[in-house]
């Protein structure tokens, strides 16, 4: 069976609080692309001991600032997701060369890498982060501000046991709203929440 993530908009929650400006922050996630199997088949079932190898890399825009801090937030967020999630019994986290680097990994190379990894993983998740940071939008009146934080990433999932692709999609995670201004302190948690929404959307 084939499932499609075509600009699917999911409102996952509502969080109101006192930030730099008083506002109410909502979380929404947009998906595009498709998967070859249900996302629920990525995670382990009761009694299962499914393991995961998460390979991450970045594809920043040319003018991206504070790259080192953002990449530290990526690692912290991925570790938080993998540690707290009940999706996998065990996991490994490794970095791949960035997509702007000359040496790239093809899908076949990733599968070979995954099948040769020790300990062997059941699922391989490749995460390419394109955006991670605060956003602020000013409307016609400077008094009207909409802000928050966002995570944009491409996600590919492989079944390492059968050497077959399971999913290849893009996701845009946002948390913010009118009169909301957020800094960088929440970025590790934002990355963790974005992964949770991508891997376990239901």
Pairwise CA distance, residues 98 & 104, whole Å: 8
Structure tokens at 149: 């934080």
Question: What is the model's pLDDT at position 194?
Answer: 97
What is the H or E stretch that residue 200 is in?
none
Domain ranges of the chain: 13-199
pLDDT at site 184: 86
C-alpha to C-alpha distances, 39 to 1, 15, 19, 70, 169, nearest whole angstrom: 12, 26, 34, 27, 11
What would the pLDDT profile of 153-172 be if each residue is shown by its tens digit? 999 998 888 888 888 899 99
Average pLDDT of span 144-151: 83
CATH class for the domain made up of 13-199: alpha beta
Mean pLDDT of the region 53-66: 94
Q: What is the DSSP string of 132-158?
A: EEEEEEE-SSTT-EEEEEEEEEEEEEE
């Amino acid at each position: 069976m084939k499932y499609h993530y075509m600009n699917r908009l999911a409102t996952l929650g509502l969080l109101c609080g006192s930030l730099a400006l008083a506002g109410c922050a909502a979380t929404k996630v947009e998906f595009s692309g498709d998967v070859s199997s249900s996302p629920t088949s990525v995670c382990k079932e009761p009694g299962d001991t499914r393991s995961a190898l998460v390979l991450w890399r970045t594809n920043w825009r040319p003018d991206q600032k504070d790259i080192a801090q953002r990449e530290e937030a990526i690692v912290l967020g991925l570790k938080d997701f993998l540690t707290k999630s009940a999706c996998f019994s065990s996991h490994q986290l490794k970095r791949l060369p960035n997509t702007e680097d000359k040496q790239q990994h093809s899908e076949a190379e990733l599968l070979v890498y995954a099948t040769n990894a020790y300990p062997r993983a059941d699922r391989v998740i490749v995460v390419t982060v394109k955006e991670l940071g605060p956003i602020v939008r000013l409307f016609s009146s400077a008094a009207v501000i909409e802000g928050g934080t966002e995570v944009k990433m491409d996600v590919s999932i492989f079944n390492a046991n059968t050497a077959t692709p399971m999913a290849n999609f893009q996701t845009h995670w946002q948390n913010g709203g009118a009169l909301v201004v957020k800094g960088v302190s929440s970025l590790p948690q934002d990355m963790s929440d974005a992964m949770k929404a991508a891997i376990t959307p239901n």
